[in-house]
Chains A and B, each alone.
Chain A
Amino acid sequence: MSLDLRTPASTRESSPGHRRARVLRIGAAVADRLSGDAGTIGRVHSVFGRALNIETLDGRLLTLHGPGPLRAPFAAVIDRLALLRAQRPGAPVAVEPGRLRLPGLTLEWGGATRVECTIPGPPPGLHRSVVDILRAFDPRRAPALDTPRGVAARAALSAAIVSGAPRALVSAARALLGLGEGLTPAGDDCLVGALAVVRAIAGPAMVGAPAVARVVAHEALHRTTALGREFVIEALAGRFSEPVLGLLRARSADAAAAAARALAGLGATSGADTLTGMRLACGAFA
């Protein structure tokens, strides 16, 4: 039997097929954090219809979501959201130069736009129309924020902003952290919103005091969800989601109204809870 010794191509190929997606935009700070890494950097933390969270080995998060503004300062926008739905929590995530690898999926970030999510050092202040919009905002009825505990926590935060006392701020933050239902509990969103306004009006001095940030970040570690904590840590460092930044940066009534609408539509209730916190801080400064 004379037999052909040529190895058929079909048995040469061995690597299973990968799907590919591109990272379109990414928060600058999280991009910097990842670009120094290589190898396995963490695992898939949670998968939702509209987003996927990756928990890195240092306990921090990276959120992937579909096209649109960055929903968190630690987020990245990818072009093919549907591919994420096949991922399962716990799956390993690795970094290679210019790309992120998940099981069966490669995310290229070579062409991604870096988005600066930090409010700059000197306080930019708030445009009048932003203040007006926030004053007119009708706080969502977040059940947890309306309980006696929630009401007391909000009052404490307001008082802390008025007094500017670091200790008061820490204790108000402690009362709000982890309060309420959801991935980012309503109390966390409220705190982040308040921190955004504080940062914009008073600058980093007030909340940027390393002691305050350290203590609150430590509190967050065991008082709220991983996602809530990430938002709070980033907020303490002056970094916020694009919808929040959009509202802070608005310079006309129309722009402010549009930005507030966009923020209000964020997440299930997160945006509205964030606005509640922004309104609270705005009121405290007045």
Chain B
Amino acid sequence: MTGRPDPSRALLADGARVINVGLESFATDLEARGVPVVHVAWRPPAGGDDASARRLAALQDASTAAAIQAANAAVLDTITGAHPVLVDCRPAREAMGLEERVVLHAGPPLPWDRACPTMQAAVLCAIRYEGWAGDDAAARDLVERGAVALAPCHSRGAVGPMTGLITASMPVFVVENRAAGTRAYATINEGLGAVLRFGANDERVIRRLGWLAAEAGPMLGAALRAGEGIDLRAMMSQALRMGDEMHQRNIAASALLTRQLMPALARAGRDTAALARLAEFIGGNDQFFLNLAMAAGKASTDPGLHHAGSTLVVTMARNGTEFGIRVAGLGDRWLTAPVNTPRGLYFAGYGPEDANPDIGDSAIVETIGLGGLAMAASPAVAGFVGAGGLHEAIAITEEMAEITVGEHPHFRIPNLDDRGAPVGIDVRRVVETGITPIINTGIADRRPGVGQIGAGTVRAPLACFEQALAELAATIGDRA
């Protein structure tokens, strides 16, 4: 016993470098004495909730924990090893076999009568756009009779921002995950103004959707099919270095995409006036890339579903009424809770009372380590959403690292000495710490069609994760 191994001797030889867990005054004292110290703002696991604490403890048992760790490592590899490539753009009926009289929407499954006014208005508009009904009353009748079915985008391999609507004739981008052979779909971002995703429902919206289907979509499709595909992973990692976090800010990614897309578009198109219209449309939309980032996220995370034993989150989405998550170890099951309303900065003349509850599939980008999780890469966004400056942005990413299990090998953040973005949200850590994922988001007006009135951040509701933990404890506990 006289030859004890090193760590305790090293402590006496080198002096203490302390992690302080508990009374903060100890940390303050140590700091004043010049002792290096990091204080942990400790709170009881699961906020002192006994049921959750018991479930956490059950999953901490050595052999169970090791199995979970292995499963999570596999899912993390799947997500971070994904290689999304943009390969095509064609109507949803062709690309994803979407039937007539089906309207896909954002978020978890949503009965019509529980949909928020913005979502309802958008659905009616989409039905009129497809020509399934001539006016809102007839459209409403179709939905209420069940003659038009509602389904989540996620259930059909797709994702959509805000209301997220997709119907058969809308052109969708096709993103292929070459690492797993899966595909995911997202519509073309409509730009600003009166748009379907904010629940606008008038002729201008339908005119623009018509143009996207008749002119923009086919041109984009032709250009993409003529090439080898556009490597979205490389593009996103570059854009991250240019200050985008790919949720609230996509200006660099949009520019990079445009740079690569334009020669192909010019080669594929003969109608120069049409080409000019499309170039103008893409160039005028700073968020053009958002839908592609989302499709890339969907293509990257879908292969992680149905991975028994894993506690990692693979989907986060909101439908304006509920926030839903899906967890690798729980398959298709949605765990839902009422959505929170975003907090942030409002455009002049608007305030929190005008805000629509949180909505959209865009939180998929947070599940792959972008958006709020990569806030440190994008101080401009932190300022824009009212979260402060660079220090606050870094603080947000550091906080998210508390609830994730890995760092993204491709998405690196210059402001953090090129460390990878935190990725792989672990249900256990969320419940243990009470830190819920932060999502960067646009804020929509609660009145349909008014559009974006601000930008901010929103927290995923803890209840989703508590339910997920309960289900995980039940399933994993059963197998053990």
Contact = CB atoms under 8 A, between A and B. Distances in A.
The answer on direct contact between A and B (beta carbons under 8 Å) is: yes
Interface of A: 19, 80, 82-83, 86
Chain B interface, DSSP helix/strand/loop, else mixed = helix
Chain A interface, DSSP helix/strand/loop, else mixed = helix
B141 interface: no
A23 to B, nearest CB: 16
A80 B30 CA distance: 12
B34 interface: yes
Contacts of B100: none
A80 B31 CA distance: 9
7 contacts: A19-B32, A80-B32, A80-B34, A82-B31, A82-B32, A83-B32, A86-B32
Nearest to B390: A265
Contacts of B34: 80
A263 to B, nearest CB: 16
Contacts of A83: 32
Contacts of A82: 31-32
B37 to A, nearest CB: 11
Contacts of A86: 32
Contacts of B32: 19, 80, 82-83, 86
Nearest to A19: B32
The 4 closest A-B pairs by CB, nearest first: A82-B32, A82-B31, A83-B32, A80-B34
A216 to B, nearest CB: 33
B384 to A, nearest CB: 14
A126 B32 CA distance: 43
Nearest to B31: A82
A205 B34 CA distance: 48
Contacts of A80: 32, 34
A29 B125 CA distance: 73
A264 to B, nearest CB: 11
Nearest to B32: A82
Contacts of A19: 32
Interface string B11-45: 00000000000000000000110100000000000
Interface in B407-443: none
Interface in B339-381: none
A19 B31 CA distance: 13
A82 B32 CA distance: 6
A83 B33 CA distance: 9
A86 B28 CA distance: 11
A19 B32 CA distance: 9
A77 to B, nearest CB: 16
Contacts of B31: 82
A61 B32 CA distance: 25
A19 B33 CA distance: 9
A121 B380 CA distance: 41
A83 B30 CA distance: 11
Interface in B57-103: none
A83 B29 CA distance: 10
A80 B36 CA distance: 12
A19 B34 CA distance: 11
B50 to A, nearest CB: 38
B31 to A, nearest CB: 5
B386 to A, nearest CB: 15
Nearest to A85: B32
Nearest to B389: A265
A80 B34 CA distance: 7
A207 B34 CA distance: 45
A206 to B, nearest CB: 36
